[in-house]
Amino acid sequence: MKAIAIVPEKEKIIRLFEENKAEICRNDSPYLTALRLEALQSFALAGYPTQELEEWRSTNLKDALAEEYNFYFTPFEDDVDVKEIFRCEIHNFETYLFSQLNGWYVYKQAPVTQLPNGVIVGSIAEVFRTHPELVLEHYGKYADVKNNGFIALNTMFAQDGIFIYVPDNIVVEKPIQIVNIVNISENIFLQPRNLIVLGKNAKLTLVHCDDSINHQKSFINSITEFFVDEGAEIDFYKLQNKDHLSNVITNTFFHQKENSKVNTNTLTFNGGLIRNETRVCLCGRGADAKVYGLYLMDKEQHIENQIYIDHIAEDTSSYELFKGIIDDNASAVFNGHIQVHRDAQKTVAFLTNKNILLTDSAHVSTKPFLEIYADDVKCSHGATVGQLDPEALFYLKSRGICERNAKMLLMYAFGAEVANKITIDVLRDRIDNMMVMRLKGELSICDQCVVHCKQEEKLVFDIDMSKL
């Protein structure tokens, strides 16, 4: 296992690729190598996105990219017992659990698991060998390397990630849970690459938890591509609970065919600098996307959600709701862009972003945007930035509720609108609890999202948030 430490400046990282090309491409099919080289060209041309670009205006990556990070091009030799590092904190949460450690798929019993119903879950590097036809049809087809420098960079370097395939007409009853852990005692630069393919009328619930246990600087540049075939349905929950030394850039793509349904919810509780970009392509008639998000940020944290929804086909619908509470000196950016193409008649699209600022130094920038080229559509967008309602606070306090709990109740109520969209009861309850803990400032990075390091301590709640 060889680590190479560099400051990931444009020229240096290109040289890093050139010098390690043989290692990086060692298992590639010709298609994949060609794709990497195309990505290299794009990156060489565009480099990292800068703040001069409108879409990256609020993302200051200078400091993050000036650090030195370790790059690994071969897997870690020791296959770890993931149970030694974390355990799931959601009781009665029955899932198929798979994990990534420091960017590499954790094998457990096998690099690729095939369930009795034909569902395949495994290391994408392995699946390239075992089921190339499943991967090649979609890999890199939705994440356009010309879109931004990080997509190009990931495509150049990506070596492992999670692959999931659900065959036609298969409903996966139990959710699949992916836990992505960073646990290494050095600075690390990771570029995981995931691909999720749902066949016709397939159904899947996927929970993706991003956690870090180390207290070193990390830079994660991940791509996840979803292909959702005709009539298929995916529920995708992304939980981000990262330490303040983490820089996270995620690019997520949903490619939707006729009558498919996407329901995605991104819940961000902690992080250093996080930028989530989600692109939904409603390509087939009747496709529907629900894109939700909640972010609770404090201290010096920075969160961005950039959502692009393309209504390409007729009769497509999208509903977007993002809410955030921003405390201390934290900052949040929301950019929701809906484009209704000329042929996408009868589109229905709603977009809402609501923010609460708790301090004068907290900052939010929100930009809901509609671009409509069809003439028979129903669309609306809106954004709010405000404080907790002083009238409501007084009302609660006048009933004997202390200021802190009164604020808690109001903040909780604000966030619950998004959390309530979670369809898995046990997950929703857990998120409810996390929200309460987070708002009370008790969710440290050691109370991992749904995972938990072993130093368990009993949490006591002033407010009984159970639904009674």
Partner 1 sequence: MSLLEIKNLKVSINNKKIIKGLDLLVNAGEVHAIMGPNGTGKSTLASVIAGRDVFIVTDGSIHYKDKDLLSMAVEDRSREGIFLGFQYPVEIPGVSMTNFMKTAVDEHRKYNHLPALTAVEFLRLMDEKKKMVEIQSNLTNRSVNEGFSGGEKKRNEIFQMSMLEPTLAILDETDSGLDIDALKIVANGVNKLRRADNAFIVITHYQRLLDYIIPDFVHVLFEGRIVKSGGKELAYELESKGYDWIKQELENQ
Question: Which residues of this protein are in contact with partner 1, per CB under 8 A?
Answer: 389, 391-392, 394-403, 405-406, 409-410, 412-414, 416-417, 462-468
Least distance to partner 1, CB of residue 267, Å: 17
Rounded CA separation 156/147 (Å) = 14
75: which 2 tokens?
Answer: 């897997």
DSSP track, 147-172: T-HHHHHHHHH----EEEEE-TT-B-
Rounded CA separation 191/71 (Å) = 9
Least distance to partner 1, CB of residue 20, Å: 52
The smaller minimum CB distance to partner 1, of residues 280 and 436, is found at: 436
Least distance to partner 1, CB of residue 406, Å: 8
The smaller minimum CB distance to partner 1, of residues 369 and 395, is found at: 395
Burial per residue of 83-100, b for 16 or more beta-carbon CB atoms within 10 angstroms, e otherwise: eebbebbbeebebbbbbb
Rounded CA separation 219/250 (Å) = 11
The smaller minimum CB distance to partner 1, of residues 220 and 431, is found at: 431
Least distance to partner 1, CB of residue 444, Å: 24
Least distance to partner 1, CB of residue 323, Å: 11
Least distance to partner 1, CB of residue 248, Å: 29
The smaller minimum CB distance to partner 1, of residues 18 and 403, is found at: 403
Contacts of 337 (CB under 8 A, 6+ apart): 306, 307, 308, 309, 369, 371
Rounded CA separation 182/211 (Å) = 7
The smaller minimum CB distance to partner 1, of residues 144 and 417, is found at: 417
The smaller minimum CB distance to partner 1, of residues 220 and 435, is found at: 435
Pairing of strands 69-72, 3-6: antiparallel
Q: How far is CA 233 from the centre of its chain?
A: 18
Rounded CA separation 181/83 (Å) = 12
Burial per residue of 243-277, b for 16 or more beta-carbon CB atoms within 10 angstroms, e otherwise: bebbbbbbbbbbbbbbbbbbbbbbbbbbbbbbbbb
Q: At what angle do helices 149-157 and 30-46 cross, to 10 degrees?
A: 140
The smaller minimum CB distance to partner 1, of residues 185 and 398, is found at: 398
Least distance to partner 1, CB of residue 356, Å: 12
